[in-house]
Amino acid sequence: MEIRIAERIRELMRAEGLNQSKLGEKIGVRQNTISAWLLGKKEPCIRSLWLLADYFDVDIDYLVGRKNF
């Protein structure tokens, strides 16, 4: 199974009209951390996955590519 976190975050950001800085402000994460996620240099920790899932109102399984909407 392919982990699709960066792709899913990008897709959700685009749908909400958010840039990295705005998303960072919304979930309390620095912009450079979000950049690292989107570039595939890092993956979000479980706490960050919870924050992303709660903010975008999706399951963590969706974020990591285990299921679709």
Domains of the chain: 5-63 (1.10.260.40)
Determine phi and psi for 38, rounding to 5 degrees.
-70, -30
pTM, rounded to two decimals: 0.90
Report the alpha-carbon distance of residue 65 to residue 17 in Å, rounded.
Answer: 21
Alpha-carbon Rg for the chain in angstroms: 11
Q: Write the DSSP symbol of residue 19.
A: -
The reported pLDDT for the residue numbered 66 is: 86
Question: Which is more confident, 33 or 67?
Answer: 33
Triad 53, 59, 62: Cα angle to 5°? 105
Question: Please, which pLDDT band fits residue 1 given cuts at 50, 70 and 90?
Answer: very low
